[in-house]
Amino acid sequence: MMPFENRQDPAAGPVLEPRAFRDALALYASGITIIAGHDNDEPLGFTCQSFYSVSIAPPLISFSVMANASTYPRIRETGKFSVNVLAEAQQAISDQFACKGKDRWAGIVWKMTPGRNPVIAGTLMWLDCRIVAEHQAGDHYIVIGEVIAMSPNDWHDGAPLLYFKGKYRHLHDSGEQAR
């Protein structure tokens, strides 16, 4: 691997065409989550596929969100959020929370976590978190949360909703191809 000093100067401008970069990243399969919060007036939330674990001790997770997102600043003000990992049957929920200008919670069955964040019924699992750090990185924020509670073991049932090559996917046995 080439030392960092010998790489092209990032100030010289982008070396990658944005669409090609996005298409390349679409080859990384990911789960789908709803990042949710409650500002004492109403539940808040948005679809997020950029979610991952950071640390076991202490229990930390992270997600990325566009810097110009309209919902995240309201969640940020509360200092806390939940992560709802969607199950394979929840594609419509993912689509609903990805739309702007609609009531994202219309028809959604949910309850509050111990930390007062929304948990969507039927999710594969949920985490209750408090924001411990936020970093701006390009056109996104990287948010780090400390997990303060999580779904009980008997909550975890089913398979995840996945996203790959710009489409929703489902897990299959190793001998089958993704549809």
99-123 per-position pLDDT tens digit: 988 899 999 999 999 999 999 999 9
pLDDT cut 70: percent of the chain above it: 88
Task: Give the pLDDT confidence score for residue 179 in this predicted structure.
Answer: 46
Task: Give the pLDDT confidence score for residue 13 in this predicted structure.
Answer: 63
Q: What is the mean pLDDT of residues 134-155?
A: 95
Task: Give the pLDDT confidence score for residue 178 in this predicted structure.
Answer: 47
pLDDT one-digit tens code per residue, 8-66: 565 666 678 988 988 888 888 999 999 999 998 999 999 999 999 999 999 999 999 99
E strands in 8-157: 30-31, 33-38, 43-48, 51-55, 60-66, 80-85, 110-112, 118-120, 125-137, 140-150
Task: Give the pLDDT confidence score for residue 150 in this predicted structure.
Answer: 96
Domain borders along the chain are: 30-160
Tell me which of 176 and 25 has the higher pLDDT. 25
Does 30-160 carry CATH code 1.10.510.10?
no
